[in-house]
Every structure is written in C-alpha cells, then in structure tokens.
C-alpha cells in the first residue's frame, strides 16, 4: 500500500500567531467567527474555523484540526457514506449524501466535526487536509502559511521519521512519543510536543485499537441495538425530507429575490427605450 499524506505539528515551534488559521479561513472563505451558545469561546473549532490554536499555560500553543485517522470512527459511524476516507489518506465530507444525523460528531474521539447550527440548511464541517490543493500539486494552506515550520506536510512515513529524529536528537526536549503514531490505529495528523497532549482527546488513553473495530464488535454483541434501526431509518427519512424542503424553500426565496430585482430594472429599461 502506498504511503498516505500527513501533517506533523511540532508544538515546541508554534508561537500561536494563527497565520495557519487565517490561511485556512481565506482558502475556504469561512468569514468571521460567530459566537454560538454551545461554544466555550469563539476561538474554538467551529463551522467558520477548521483549525484553531489551543492556548495552554506557559505560552504553549497546540494546533487543533481533524487527525485524518487511518481508521476513522466518523466514517464507520456514518450510515450514508457522507464521511469518506480518500485513497490519499484525508477524510472528507460529501454534503450531498449527509442526512444531518450528526453521528459523526458523536463518534469522533477528538471532538472535531462541527455543525452549522445557525444555518437554515446545516451541514457538517471540518478540515479536509486541503485534499483538492494537494491533488493539484500544492501543499495545505495552513502549512504553507506557517512562518515557523511548526506544521509540516509530507508522507506519513517521512514525517514519522522526522518526528523520531527530532525526539532522539533533542534528549529531554520532547515528550518521548509521537502523538498519533499508534492511538486508535494511528492518525495522519501527528504531533510532537514538550507537554502531554492527552487533553485533545475525549479520554487520556485512547488505546491502539481502531475505534470502528470496537464499535462494530460491540454492536454484534448487542443485537437489541439493531432493533432500533427501523425507528432510526424513519428519523432519517424525516431529516432528509426536511433538509430537501428547506433547500427548495431557500431556492424559491432566491429566485423571488432575483426576479424582484430584475423587474424594476426591465421596467426602467423599457421606459428609457420609449422616450
Ligand atoms: S479526527 Fe474525528 S473527524 Fe477526523 S477522521 Fe478522525 S474520527 Fe473523523
Ligand atoms: S489542511 Fe487545509 S482544511 Fe485543514 S486546517 Fe489546514 S488549511 Fe484548513
Ligand atoms: S502559523 Fe505556525 S507558528 Fe503560527 S500558530 Fe500556526 S502553527 Fe503556530
């Protein structure tokens, strides 16, 4: 199997300048952060912030983004294939397939995906590792913008080698592990750090077994859970129907607004022509 692409974040080099955040916002036209009541702070990950900087004591800065897990729980939790693992490694989202159930939000051990709660037709949002830029031969916008080389792009094998090299050549500087090398089967966003990074996950020790394996093993052992599937599917049809209705209402509103603008312009034009 060819090696997947990856990002290595070295927290010892990060100054918290947020140029990576700004570059991501510009690349995806995310606009200004909007406070939302479920958020602790506007600087949290959100539908307008696919990456952010978590500030820790003593001027430690830790970049947060989707880990692009090798065996992603969000993908296995999504019943309609809206979360997909690409052959290159990044985990991407297909809004056309999404039914709005938000199982991916609940499944992610790093609390990454966000929902557009304030939109009429909401979707899930998260980092894509700039897969389209990478396919064009470019590197992710955030990596490109970092002036400190605190975040690097390459293949997972190259970046793991670089991470271990930095740890070995700087005794005592780093925690003695590469975060993401083995956790829950491994991730494509890796970290080396002088402080523990367990706070980034939903519990300190995630183990090394991929979450999808655990999830499905548990489901097979608990058949009654499957009995709820009928009710679940009913809910899904309701959600899909509602989303389609909202989308078509939004389209009608746009059409009406457009014809409201065009009508006076046409009248003015014909008035001008008749004089
Ligand atoms: S970090 Fe969460 S959202 Fe990202 S691939 Fe892993 S499970 Fe999915
Ligand atoms: S890889 Fe791309 S989408 Fe992900 S945080 Fe960086 S700029 Fe944003
Ligand atoms: S641009 Fe680089 S140094 Fe600045 S906050 Fe982002 S990762 Fe840290």
pLDDT of residue 194: 97
* pTM, rounded to two decimals: 0.81
Residue 224 confidence class, pLDDT cut points 50, 70, 90: very low
- The domain limits of the chain are 5-221, 226-274
**CATH class, 5-221 region:** alpha beta
pLDDT of residue 218: 47
Give the residue from 122, 16, 24 showing the smallest Cα distance to 59: 16
| pLDDT higher than threshold 60 for residue 231 | no
| pLDDT higher than threshold 90 for residue 232 | no
Structure tokens at 173: 């500087």
Residue 210 confidence class, pLDDT cut points 50, 70, 90: confident
Q: For the CA atoms of the chain, what is the radius of gyration?
A: 22
Backbone phi, psi, residue 36, to 5°:
-135, 140
Mean pLDDT (the chain, rounded): 84
- What are the tens digits of pLDDT across the range 176-205? 999 999 999 999 999 999 999 999 988 777
Our mutation pick for probing the ligand 1 site, out of 63, 67, 215, counting the most ligand atoms within 8 A of Cβ, is 67
> Bigger pLDDT: 14 or 261?
14
Residue nearest to atom 2 of ligand 3 (CA): 146
Distances in Å between the alpha carbon of 121 and those of 47, 78, 82, 117, 139?
13, 19, 16, 9, 31
Ligand 1 atom with the shortest distance to the CA of 113: 3
DSSP the chain: -PPPEEEEEETTT-----HHHHHHHHHTT--S----TT-S-TTSSBTTBSSEEEEETTTEEEEE----BSS-HHHHH-TTS-EEE-TTS-EEE-TTT--S--HHHHH-TT---EE-TTSSS--EE---TTHHHHHTT---HHHHH-TT--EEEEEHHHHHHHHHHHHHHSTTTS-SS-BTSSGGG-BSEEEE-SS--GGGSSSS---SS-HHHHHHHHHHH-HHHHHTHHHHHHHHHHHHHHHHHHHHHHHHHHHHHHHHHHHHHHHHHHHHHH-
Tell me the CA–centroid distance for residue 152 and ligand 2, in Å: 12
pLDDT of residue 121: 85
Place of tokens 């090398």: 181
Structure tokens at 187: 């991730």
pLDDT of residue 105: 95
pLDDT of residue 274: 40
Ligand 1 atom with the shortest distance to the CA of 83: 8
pLDDT of residue 13: 98
The number of angstroms, rounded, from the C-alpha of 132 to the middle of its chain's C-alpha atoms is: 14
Is the CB–ligand 2 distance for residue 99 below 6 Å?
no
Q: What percent of the chain has pLDDT over 70?
A: 76
Residue 228 confidence class, pLDDT cut points 50, 70, 90: very low
């Amino acid at each position: 199997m060819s090696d997947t692409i990856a990002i290595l974040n070295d927290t010892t080099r990060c100054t918290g300048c947020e140029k990576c955040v700004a570059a991501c916002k510009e690349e995806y036209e995310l606009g200004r952060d909007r406070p939302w009541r479920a958020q602790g702070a506007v600087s949290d990950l959100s539908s307008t912030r696919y990456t952010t900087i978590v500030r820790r004591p003593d001027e430690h800065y830790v970049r947060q983004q989707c880990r692009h897990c090798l065996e992603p729980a969000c993908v296995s939790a999504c019943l309609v294939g809206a979360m997909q693992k690409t052959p290159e490694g990044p985990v991407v989202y297909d809004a056309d397939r999404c039914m709005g159930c938000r199982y991916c939000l609940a499944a992610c051990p790093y609390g990454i995906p966000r929902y557009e709660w304030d939109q009429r037709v909401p979707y899930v949002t998260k980092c894509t590792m700039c897969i389209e830029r990478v396919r064009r031969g470019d590197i992710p916008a955030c990596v490109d913008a970092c002036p400190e080389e605190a975040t690097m792009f390459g293949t997972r094998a190259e970046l793991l080698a670089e991470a271990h090299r930095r740890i070995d050549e700087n005794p005592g500087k780093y925690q003695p592990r590469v975060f993401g090398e083995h956790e829950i089967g491994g991730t494509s966003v890796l970290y080396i750090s002088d402080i523990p990074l367990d706070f980034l996950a939903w519990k300190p020790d995630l183990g090394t077994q991929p979450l999808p394996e655990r999830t499905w093993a548990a489901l097979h052992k608990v058949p009654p859970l499957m009995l709820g599937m009928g009710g679940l599917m009913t809910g899904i049809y309701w959600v899909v129907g509602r989303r389609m209705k909202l989308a078509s209402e939004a389209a009608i509103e746009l059409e009406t607004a457009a014809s409201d603008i065009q009508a006076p312009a046409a009248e003015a034009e014909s008035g001008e022509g008749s004089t």
